[in-house]
Structure formats: structure tokens, C-alpha cells
Amino acid sequence: MFRVAEAARAAGVASSTLRLWETQGLIAPQRRASGQRLYSEADVAQLQRIAYLRREAGLNPAAIRATLEAECTAPAPAEIINEPLGHALRQLRQSRSETLEAVAQNLGVSASALSTLERTGAGVSFKTLADLAQYYGTTVSRLSGQEEVGQPVVRAGRARIWPMPVEGVRVEVLAEGRRQMDCHRFILAPGAASGAASEGGYGHEGEEFITVLEGRFRITLDGVEVHELGPGDSVYFESRRPHAWANAADGRTVVIWINTPPTF
């Protein structure tokens, strides 16, 4: 949960603006018994949306409210189902004779989230998936079947799609088979991120290179070093540095992401 000042900073506005939006019926934060306002991550995402509609679209409060209501009633995206990934993770856990509760406790996540993941292959953050792969001594790439023998050429529009359990994240495999590099194209929907702000980053062995093709990409290294990249910008870093990322654009963001050796 975020306090007023923290939520305002995330939305790029003053604290007084949040109170004004509340009186205008645009946001309804929770309150403690003392009256202190508390904002959830969903509230912060809505605040960022309100700020965009006000700043970029120039909408007045009534128009913003109507837009938000329309978005809330829009059909939800189809549920992600990736049973092979869930089955693979369940087999890894059972081979170690571990319970869901034990794995969840070691990773600091809920047992219900892991149960959903094993059943449907969905319902966790990108960070949690990376942490699970590392915990079981494997990689996300192996879990996705990327190390199967592949052709040296991947034609435009024919790249295999990763079985990704995270909504809003599409990963295209640009190099198949056992390679010295993981080569992917990430296509991120608005709001897509590696995990919640409270989850922090993830790390592993190797080095990484990212270049932005479209949109805005924000990467945080070691929890404190933040870089926002636009089209043509790139970043290179050691994979062991905890890293978290997010789509910083109001539309989609597309990046080319390379890991070497293939430890992700």
C-alpha cells in the first residue's frame, strides 16, 4: 500500500491533486481508522492513467470519469492457459518431494499463486517465474522448450511465442536450439512489468543487452539505478545485478533482449 506522497510521486502529480481527484470521484483510496489514505498498486495504476488523460488527452474530470468507467466495463482479455509450463513446474517440485507450501515459503510468495501456476501455467509475475526457474536449477528458456533443435533462420512473423504466464508480456524467440545467447523480442502492453514494485528485481549469471525498437522502457538495476530508454537507446549490464523493468509508455513497447550465456 502507498501513502499519499508516494502515490502522488508515482503518478507525477502533487499530493493535493490526489485529494482533488478524490472529491471529483476519480479515485477512492482505502482509509485507516485514523483517516490516513492508502493506495493499492491498482489505485496507483489508475492515478497514472488519470494523469495521462488529463495531461496528454486534455480531458476534464467528467470525461476522464466516463473514460475510466468505459475501460472498466470493457471485456477482459482471455485467460492465459499454459498447461505444459505448469506441468513442468509441478514435476520439478515433486521430483524434490517438496510441498507447495514449502516452495512458496522459500520464495516468499503465496501457495495459492503457485497452485494456480502449476494448474494453468499462469497467474504469477515475471520475477516469480525467474525465481522459480533458479530455485529448481533450470532456466525460463528451458521451461519454454527453447533448447529444442531449431533452424538457423527465423523468418519475420514466424517466430515462436514463449509460453509466457504473465499478462501483457509477449516474448518471441529469435534464435532456437542450444545457443550461447538467448535472443528474444519482448512486446510489452501498457502497464506490463517484471513484477509489482514491492517484489524488487531478479538476477542470475551472465550478461544482458537490451535495445529499444518502440515505446519507452524503464529498467532498474540494484533497486536504485533507474534508466528510461527510448527508441534507439540500449543498455548492457551484468545479469547478477538485480534488475526490474516496466513498459514506461502509454502504448506498447518493443525491445530486443539478449542474454549470454543462456542462463535465463
Sequence spans of domains, the chain: 4-72, 83-260
User: What's the topology of domain 83-260?
Assistant: Jelly Rolls (2.60.120)
Q: What is the DSSP string of 107-124?
A: HTS-HHHHHHHHHHS-SS
* pLDDT for the residue numbered 147: 54
Q: Cβ(41)–Cβ(197) under 8 Å?
A: yes
* pLDDT for the residue numbered 125: 79
Q: How far is CA 184 from the centre of its chain?
A: 16
Closest CA to 12 of 254, 253, 248, 222: 248
* pLDDT for the residue numbered 212: 97
* pLDDT for the residue numbered 109: 82
* pLDDT for the residue numbered 165: 67
* pLDDT for the residue numbered 187: 92
Residue 221 CA to residue 156 CA, distance in Å, equals 32
* pLDDT for the residue numbered 40: 85
* pLDDT for the residue numbered 81: 52
User: What's the topology of domain 4-72?
Assistant: Multidrug-efflux Transporter Regulator; Chain: A; Domain 2 (1.10.1660)
Stretches in the chain below the pLDDT threshold 50:
74-80
List the grid coordinates of 22: 478524490
